[in-house]
Structure formats: structure tokens, C-alpha cells
Structure 1
Amino acid sequence: MKELKIDVTLSTEKKQKPSFDNLEFGKSFTDHMFVWNYTEGKGWHDARIIPYQPITLDPAATVFHYGQTVFEGLKAYLTKDEQILLFRPDENMKRFNRSNDRLCMPELDEEGALSALKQLIQIDREWIPSGEGTSLYIRPFMIATEAFLGVHPANSYQFMIILSPVGAYYKEGINPVKIAVESEYVRAVAGGTGNAKTAGNYAASLKASEIASENGYSQVLWLDGRENQYIEEVGSMNVFFKINGEVITPELNGSILEGITRKSIIELLNYMNIPVVERRISIHEIEQAYRDGVLEEAFGTGTAAVISPIGEFLWKNEKMAVNNGEIGPLSQKLYDTLTGIQNGTKEDPFGWSVQI
């Protein structure tokens, strides 16, 4: 990979690091950030690593009014021998550009962005925690910066990367979470922006998530926006069900985000010779599987939580317990295997890990 030429300005005032033994997700940020400008007709320019600082934008910047923004999420892990590993970062950059295309934003130089990411992590490597379940969360994002009020794509943008040492995404950790099935609000519809990683999708999910939280549930299970019966995602994660020995995950349909952890789990299940299919699956099928006693496990997958087992669904005032509310053996095995590959404690037969 060709290394991107970057101007580096190091911070003269280092931040106080949080306790790595008690990390909250997304609350602390490292000493530096990466910034890269794009101007129509000029392309990408002025790549720089600078001290972490606020962004100054014109009040008329397009991102504020018309929502042209996309982001990604990935992690860096510190191995026992203090090597730094990334997990499938090329897949994140490919998805970033798919999101850019949907939002009419400029194509990112994927190799340049990965080069910048690696250089930034090396500068702030002392921020990478090494405890079990911890990592350095990496947030690349792009915003439209042109100042104008008019509904058309901007002609200037900024791509940035910030870093955050993190622990578990859910306070439950790897313990099963309770999920409420959402029957009123929808996250996205086919033809919309559900398969792009853009901020508006997450803003649209907040109301239902807030109601679920008030009722003691960690997240919501989203149904499709047309028939309101087919399962799409759980919270901000993809979702899997183990029913009568077979693992089922909703097929990609234009409104479901193509998760990198989702893709990895499918490949891992195939490698383990465990039956896995991608197809439409309705909440009624889940309900029937529960009544028949064959709903064996359910779990969400995503970069932040990796795997989050589901211990209970609330559907039309009925509580459906999964595996007696305990983590299932397959969920545990997949979590242990995938996190082991990510942190370098298990063999990586797929070549997913990238050493910095």
C-alpha cells in the first residue's frame, strides 16, 4: 500500500487518559485526529494529523441542513506481544464508498484513508487498551462543508478520523439483552438509505429505542417498512436466529446494512460446517418457533458489540425467552472465535487481521 503524505502537528498538551479498567463506550477520545479536504475540481488535498479539536463550520454548511454525511466504525486491538491488529479494514472502506455513492458524496481514496488511519493509530498507540473486551474504536466520517441553502450535492467535504478507547458497548457485555419488537416505527425502507451508513438512519431509530429503554429493554427489533412483519435489524446491529439447528439471518434487501461482522459470521459458520441461510424471516415465524420450542438462540452482530446474545423478545405484550435467558453455546463459540481472531489469540485462517 502506498503511504499517504500527511502533515503532522503533534499535540503539546496530552490529555489525561481514562482508566482502562472501567471504560465507557465512546466517551473518551485520543490526542489527535486526521483531517482531509475535498474540493470539486481539485480532489483530495491537505491531508493532516492535528491535535484533537472542535470543528469550525459555516452555519450554512450542507451537513447541517441536508444531511450529507456518512461514517464507519472499526477497531484496533493490542495483542499480548503488543502488536496492533485491525479487522478487515478494507471492507469498511469499501462500504464507506458505497455509502458515499448513495449520498452523492465524492469517492474516498481507500488506500489513502487506510494509510492515514494506520499513521494516526501509530501516533496515538498508547491509547490502545489491552484488557479483555477492550479495543481502540475508530470512527472515520465525512461531512459536506459547502455553505449554501439549496437541495443539491455540495462541492466541498471533509473526511476525518477520530479514535476512542472503549470497553463493552452494552453494559450487559456478553450477557443476553432484552429486545422489544417494534411495531409502530420503522428504521428504513427498501430504496431509502437503510443500506448506507448515514447519520439520518440512526436519528430515525432514536424514538423507538427511547421507548424500549423506558420499558426496560436494551434495544428494538426492527420490522420491514412495507408489511411490518419481516425482520430487518436489531438496534444498530444485524441479527441471527438459530432455529432447529439452522442459523438464519435476514437477507440483504436494500434497507438492511451490510455488516462486516455479519459477513464474517456467515463465513465463519460456513467454515464450521454449521447450516446458515440468508432469507426473509417474519416475526410470526419467530413466534411459532418459540411456541414449538425450536427457537434455540438469537444474537445481534456489529463492530461495537461484536456479538450480543438476545435473551428475551417482547412481542405484542408477550415475552418470549430464548435459551432460558442465557447465552447459547453457538453464540459463545462465535464470540470467542471472532474476538480471538481480532485480538490475535486464535488462528486466523481467513487472513482477516491486518497488522500495523
Structure 2
Amino acid sequence: MDYTLLGNTDIRVSKVCLGTMTYGDQNTQADANDQLDYALSQGINFIDTAEMYPVPPRAETVTRTETILGHWIKTKPRDSFILASKIAGPRRGMHWIRGGPSGLDRDNIRAAVHDSLQRLQTDYLDLSYLHWPERNVPMFGQYQFDPLAELDKDGNPIAWVSMQAQLEALDELIKEGKIRAIGLSNEQPWGLMEFLRIAKERNLPRVAALQNCYNLMNRGMEFGMTEVLYREGISLMAYSPLAFGHLTGKYVDDPQAVGRVTQFLGYAQRYKKPGVPEASKRYTALARAHGLSPTQLALSFVYHRWFVGSTVIGATSMTQLAENVSSYFVKLNADVLAEIEQIHLTMMNPAP
């Protein structure tokens, strides 16, 4: 396994990161223990979770993932892995997360980290993300910015907690030893640059990592954000590299195959868009024409992009996890990469 530094920090993380968002719903404690032990045995030292997991989020399962992970953590030396979790921001309908946080203010940020540490049975997080921006931005399958969403029903601007206040709260936690580094997730170029500007001007913590969606069907990161990552030294932690299973080929072979798409109907609107089935067929056919599995093609592409620091993978079975990890050692040749670009140029980003 290869390793890289997390942004501008001295935190060394594996190029493959184990995601845990199925623990507590699709996976049991025993499943989780097996996956985590296997990941460490393969040189993966980076584990990703969130207070709202498992996904899809529901009142009856929220926080289970961190609790399950905590049972495993207490049996391991804490310095044997790097642990990241995420702080949920305000979002309509998710009242079961800390009573439905009104914003990413100091009290909510501190409560989120405190509660995560308790469930995870650890004294600190190596990386703490803001799971999504508080302000109005397109995310989770939305792709158009809507200025009208800045206003309430009476036409007045909706207030949101300033980025400076968010950074000040995170700075306190760093100084207290509760977190080592900070990251953003589901963020846009303006937001990342604004966080960086304020941090520089106010001597506040600098963002080290960005966790955004990136896969063969969603390459929006390449429109503007990659330059920011390069010039500012930010690590991209790519999530959803298999596009909710659409890039494994299983739904091409059988649209009713068992998986998150068929188990959680109506979830993940990003992959309900009309171009997704045809893109799945074309990338699946490309992989098989070159003697690769669709999973190998999709994962290798993301794993080895120059701007990807680490890729977050997840699995519901050990067979899936083993293929995901071994795919890191598959390198796509120039012909395959050229054919990927041809598909991309003819049906660009069907799942923004």
C-alpha cells in the first residue's frame, strides 16, 4: 500500500481509506470487525466515519456506525490507524441528529465532536470534517446553484453561521487535543477558498482535506476544484468511487440485483438521472473488453488520479472488500484511459 501526507499536515494516510457507512444497517459488529482487521492487514491505516452513519440516515439507526467502530477501536492501539469523522450541519428533516442542529455554531460543533469521541471510545479524532456546508449550495445530487434558496418565505436573507465562527470553534478543539486536523465535505470552490482566506487572515486552522464525490460518472471536481487543490496543497478524499454500485456492472447484468440501489428505493438521487444506465453499460463493456472487472476499471481510475489523496471505499461483504483493495494494484494503460475519455466526452458527468 502507498501512503501520502494529509494536506499540509504530518499525518500519513494510506491511499485507500476504509469507509464504514454500512455498519449498523447492512453490516453487523462481527462484519465490521472482520473488515477493519482485514483493512489493517492490507496496509490501510485510514478509517472514515460520521456521526449520522449508517446511510441512508434514519432515526432508528443514527450513530450506530460510530458505536460499532468504537467497540473495535478499544481493542487496538490508537496510534495504529488514522480516524476521521464528520460533523452534520443543518438539514431539513434530520431532527434526530442532535435535535436537528440549527447551524454549525460553536455549541453544535463541540457537541458533535464530544459525542463522536464518546461513541468511538477515543480521546481524539485525527481528522474532523464539516459534513456539508451550512450555507445554500448544491449538493447530494443537486447541481445548480439557486439564489432564491438564500431567502426565507418572506423574501428575507437566511442567516448562517460565519465561516470564521466555524473555524474558531474547530480551533478550540484542536488546542484542547480533541482533533488534529480539519476538513470539508461536499464543498464548492468558493467555500473552500473562503475557508482558506479566513484561516490565513485570522490565524485559524487551515483546511487539510476535502471529501467530495468523484467517479467515472461524476468528474465535476475537474472543473475548477483541481486547480484549487493543487495550488493550495489540499488532499482530495474521493467518495462514492463506484457510483452507488452502478460502476460494478451488477445493475447492467441484472437491474434488480441485490444492492443499495434496490434496497433503499428513492435514495441517492444523484444516480437517478437519465444518463446513468447508459454510462453504466458503456463503462462495463469497456472494462470487460480489456479483461478487467467493471470494479477494477472504476476504482483504478479514481485511485490513480494525480489530485486524489485517498479514496474512500466501502463494502457489505468481504469478497467485495477484497476486490476493492486489490484493485489499487491494477494500473490502466494508455489505451484504456483514452477510451474512458471518449466515453466521458460523449456523455459527460451523467451523475453530477
Q: TM-score, normalised by structure 2?
A: 0.25
Q: Which has the larger radius of gyration?
A: 1
- The structure whose residues are more often strand, as a share, is 1
- The structure whose residues are more often helix, as a share, is 2
Q: TM-score, normalised by structure 1?
A: 0.25
